[in-house]
């Protein structure tokens, strides 16, 4: 998939978060959105995800990645089917156990053909919490679940907002392993000002350039 922003901008009330942003994100490439805290990185990522609309300009989603934009644009109402999103502020269904949650998630966004759910739980190091309600998880455990539901969803686009929030050194290493093993050939966009979260990205966009 290719995602194109054309003269895009977003404001809240009279304050512009970013303006005049024209860029293209192409399949198989990992991008980092960088900038100081409070600069609007998360807002831009949510615009890319289709969660919020731009205040000016437009955003287009094309199913194939080439300069001619082969294929009709994907309807923005259905873009969520093509995008996985992980962020520390996104909520989990805490009344569910980990196993119940992953099975529930799979009903509306299919997971990769492999690994199976028990293997996913093992890979993220939470086997002992399989049947434990998520409400009793630590913040680091919850972040591992958020990463798992995004990384293992069968989508061409993966959006990550400060993905290592609440993770210890072992969790950070896990994040890097998941990216290397399961995210090849996907369009990845990471919003972060911490290089350890986006070291694998080959392209960078500094949002401070679009004020």
Strands 2-12, 56-62: pairing is: antiparallel
User: How do the pLDDT tens digits run along the chain, 211 residues long?
Assistant: 999 999 999 999 999 999 999 999 999 999 999 999 999 999 999 999 999 999 999 999 998 644 444 557 777 778 888 999 999 999 999 999 999 999 999 998 999 999 999 999 999 999 999 999 999 999 999 999 999 999 999 999 999 999 999 999 999 999 999 999 999 999 999 999 999 999 999 999 999 999 8
> What is the Cα–Cα distance from 103 to 191, expressed in whole angstroms?
28
CB 39 within 8 A of CB 5: no
pTM as predicted = 0.93
**Model pLDDT, residue 63:** 85
Phi–psi pair at 170, nearest 5 degrees: -65, -40
CA pseudo-torsion sign 108, 114, 116, 121: negative
pLDDT of residue 65: 47
Q: Helix H segments across the chain?
A: 41-49, 98-108, 117-123, 139-151, 169-182, 195-198
Domains and CATH numbers, the chain: 2-210 (3.40.50.300)
């Amino acid at each position: 998939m290719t995602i194109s922003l054309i003269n895009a901008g977003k404001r809240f009330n009279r304050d512009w978060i970013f303006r005049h942003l024209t860029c293209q994100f192409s399949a198989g490439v990992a991008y980092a959105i960088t900038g100081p805290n409070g600069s609007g990185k998360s807002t831009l990522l949510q615009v890319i995800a289709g969660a919020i609309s731009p205040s000016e300009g437009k955003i287009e989603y094309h199913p194939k990645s080439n300069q001619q934009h082969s294929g009709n644009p994907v309807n923005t109402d259905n873009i969520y089917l093509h995008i996985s999103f992980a962020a520390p502020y996104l909520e989990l269904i805490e009344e569910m156990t980990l196993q119940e949650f992953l099975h529930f998630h799979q009903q509306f966004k299919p997971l990769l053909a492999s690994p199976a759910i028990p293997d996913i739980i093992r890979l993220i190091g939470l086997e002992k919490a399989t049947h434990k309600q998520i409400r009793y998880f630590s913040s680091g455990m919850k972040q591992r679940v958020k990463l798992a539901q995004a990384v293992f969803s069968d989508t061409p686009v993966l959006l990550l907002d400060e993905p290592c929030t609440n993770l210890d050194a072992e969790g950070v290493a896990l994040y890097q392993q998941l990216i290397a093993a399961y995210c090849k050939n996907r369009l990845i966009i990471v919003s972060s000002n911490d290089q350890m979260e986006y070291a694998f990205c080959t392209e960078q966009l500094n949002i401070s350039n679009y004020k």
